Amino acid sequence: MRTHRIALIRGDGIGPELVEAAVAVLGAVAGQDYRLDYVEVDAGADTYRRTGTACSAENLELLRTGVDATLKGPVGLPDVRLPDGTEAGLLGGVLRVGLDLFANIRPVTLLPGVTSALAGRAAGDIDYVIVRENTEGLYASRGKGVGNRWAVSDTLMTTREGTLRVCRRAFELARERGKSGKSGTVTCVDKSNVLRSHALFRDVFREVAQDYPDIGTEFLYADAAAQALVLRPHEFDVLVMENFLGDVLSDLGGATVGGISVCPSGNLGERVAYFEPIHGSAPDLAGRGLANPVGQILAAALMLDHLGHHRDGARIRRALDTALASGRVRITAEGAAVGGPAAVADALVSLLDEESR
């Protein structure tokens, strides 16, 4: 039996209970052809408070070379701050840049039993993926802004190689989605009418598109894309964009499918990957039986896809769809899960066990 070594970063706030729910669901599908061997990794805001670093060099190297994938809960605590006043303990820059995870894959899907903020939308009407460049763009200036009390400059950096690889990943994803009936179209989102860096992004996108004649292309300025994701979300398949734009527009997309609590993500490099929900740690909800683990559980399903176990990733998504459609799992209008993470995990484990009998 094959064994996958999986790092667990349980995170802060609601993170530990979300990860616990995801691990329970993974346990209901693993075990026939493979097993998951978990390695606990101490990282996040509480880690920073105790040790002075959000993730040690040793643990970063473990994530790079010692595991097959990482499942991460949300991190961050509002009272844990760096000397400059910004939030400490966040791992986005540490892991994405430190592990060269250049593509952030963010599916936006309207699930059964979840009410969209857009009138008249039903499950399946919204089903697209934002591919966010993960190591460059405006966020390359994280911690490197130059200025004083009167003015600060943050530099937006775009490179040809960085854009080539994220665009290739977007086109490959569109090709894979096309096999399951999606449109097979990639939309380039930018502000190339204003920014030279985004003009380069668009030029490189066009260059990559020539290698994928079977994939359709579309170009949208970011402000037009924000409108289109509200007015015609059903028309999109895969969208690729600069780091900051991907951060903003994926949250907009989340608002149209019941909130960001139901949205997973995968951070992918050439050989290393970690998976997480796109939302924060919501410490005010911790331990209250309100946290929604759907994004975390779907991130676990993405991890199984990455490990080559597509059948089991699909089983988790199918069980979630069934649970939501039948009312065995209920999400409130505010995005909370009725009964909290444990109740959701129990419902999915029960459905997966029934399917296995």
Instruction: Evaluate if pTM is beyond 0.75.
Output: yes
Q: Which of 42, 125, 251, 346 is catalytic?
A: 251
Same domain, 330 and 230: no
Instruction: Tell whether 85 is covered by a domain.
Output: yes
Query: Which tens digits make up the pLDDT trace of 300-357?
Result: 999 999 999 999 999 999 999 999 999 999 998 888 899 999 999 999 999 999 987 7
pLDDT at 143 over 80: no
Specify the number of domains making up the chain: 2
Same domain, 270 and 334: yes
Predicted pLDDT of residue 98: 93
The residue among 255, 286, 308 that closes a domain is 255
Q: Which of 48, 128, 139, 274 is catalytic?
A: 139
Predicted pLDDT of residue 19: 98
Told to judge if 251 belongs to the known catalytic residues of this protein, a careful annotator would answer yes
pLDDT at 153 over 90: yes
Q: What CATH number does residue 144 fall under?
A: 3.40.718.10
3-state secondary structure of 157: strand
Q: Which of 127, 237, 247, 321 is catalytic?
A: 247
Query: With pLDDT > 90 as the criterion, what percentage of the chain qualifies?
Result: 87
312: containing domain: 1-101+266-357
Long-range contacts of 346-353 (CB under 8 A, 24+ apart): 346/24, 347/323, 348/25, 348/28, 348/297, 348/316, 348/319, 348/320, 348/323, 349/24, 349/25, 349/27, 349/28, 351/319, 351/322, 351/323, 352/25, 352/28, 352/29, 352/315, 352/316, 352/319, 353/28
Q: Which of 48, 128, 191, 237 is catalytic?
A: 191
Same domain, 157 and 231: yes
Predicted pLDDT of residue 83: 84
Predicted pLDDT of residue 104: 97
Same domain, 159 and 210: yes
CB of 198 closer than 8 Å to CB of 191:
yes
Q: Which of 37, 223, 284, 353 is catalytic?
A: 223
Told to judge if 144 belongs to the known catalytic residues of this protein, a careful annotator would answer no
Told to judge if 68 belongs to the known catalytic residues of this protein, a careful annotator would answer no
Same domain, 225 and 199: yes
Please compute the mean of the pLDDT values over residues 106-119 and round it to a whole number.
95
Query: Which tens digits make up the pLDDT trace of 273-303?
Result: 999 999 999 999 999 989 999 999 999 999 9
Same domain, 241 and 325: no
